[in-house]
Structure 1
Amino acid sequence: MDRAELNDVRLLAQFSQVLRTAIDASVDQVGMHRGQAMLLCQVAKQDGMTQSELAQALSVQGATITNLLKRMEETGMVVRRRDDEDNRLVRVYITDDGRQHEEAITEQFEHLIQQMFTGLCDEEYAAFRRTIGQLMSNLETYQIDQDCDS
């Protein structure tokens, strides 16, 4: 790897850190943490998912989802209910209070996105989306290759 490529990795890592910090500040405005916000947005998008489906959708461990849900249930943002047809399954549903928080999070994210892309024309924005998509696809393929080599 040459110096330019190493600098690219550093630049992407710095961008990731700045974005994570901005996301944290945005969800803090709503009185939540990043993990709670991501979980709430996922439940709002697809109400009634199981805990394992949520863990898979958010790429986190089941125990992480369990802990997040416990706190969010205590604050009244979500409820967990047994599935009507399969009593072994527990499904997660957003409450009215959770919906209000999710709308506030979405509003914060809209402001963040607007700020992040200020100064880019439509073509630059489209190129950014294509590039990020390709980078993610490349990394997913790389990860699969690494897993197969192990």
Structure 2
Amino acid sequence: MYTQEFGKLWSKMSRDLKTHMETELSPALTEGQLAVLELLVPETRMKPSDFLPHLSTTPAAVTTLLDRMEKAGLIIRVRDEKDRRIVWVSATVKGVEECQRGTEVRKQFLDSYLNRISSHNQQLLVYLLGKVANL
């Protein structure tokens, strides 16, 4: 009944967010890099394989993404001292700063959408989207 309308609205909001994020994060950061940093910063260090369940991509794509991030000074990779097969990824100071900037850019954009409705309706919307997403 509402499937088509929901699809149109979801598509528009997703497009608007993607366009905004690409514009505001560029040239220092991409959305994929922000996703990595958001996982990495609270953990201090992670192995490249730790990103796979969260990014819905291939190991080769993660390696390419990390290569670009290292070249941009967002992360560093260090081999484990005890087991040289293990590579640890850590955010640099620049990476932490860009992560904070990126999350703030997204927050401000989403706030601009959500502030169009009351606090009660924001809570209801988040609750209902959680139901739709099976969370």
Bin of the TM-score, shorter chain as denominator length: 0.7 to 0.9
| Total equivalences in the alignment | 135
Which ranges of structure 1 fall in alignment gaps of 5 or more residues? 139-150
**Cα deviations by residue, 1:75-114 (Å, 9 ceiling, x for unpaired):** 2110112234443221210111211212222222232122
> Superposed, which structure 2 residues align to 1:4-83 within 5 Å?
4-28=2-26, 31-83=28-80
C-alpha spacing 1:66/1:119, structure 2 compared with 1 (3 Å): same
Is contact 1:26-1:109 (8 Å) kept?
no
CA RMSD of aligned residues (A): 2.0
Structure 1 CA distance, aligned partners of 2:91 and 2:67? 13
Structure 1 consecutive aligned stretches of length 4 or more whose deviation exceeds 6 Å: none
SS in 1 for 2:128: helix
Between the aligned residues of both structures, percent identity stands at 23
Is 1:130 the counterpart of 2:124 in the alignment? Answer: no
Is contact 1:26-1:112 (8 Å) kept?
no
SS in 1 for 2:134: helix
Structure 2 CA distance, aligned partners of 1:130 and 1:63? 36
Question: How far apart are 1:121 and its partner, in Å?
Answer: 1.7
Higher mean Cα deviation, 14-23 or 119-128? 14-23
Is contact 2:17-2:109 (8 Å) kept?
no
Q: Which amino acid aligns with 1:49?
A: M
> Who is 1:95 aligned against?
92
Is contact 1:81-1:90 (8 Å) kept?
yes
SS in 1 for 2:77: strand
Which ranges of structure 2 fall in alignment gaps of 5 or more residues? none
> Who is 1:119 aligned against?
116
Q: Which amino acid aligns with 1:104?
A: R
Structure 1 CA distance, aligned partners of 2:8 and 2:108? 26
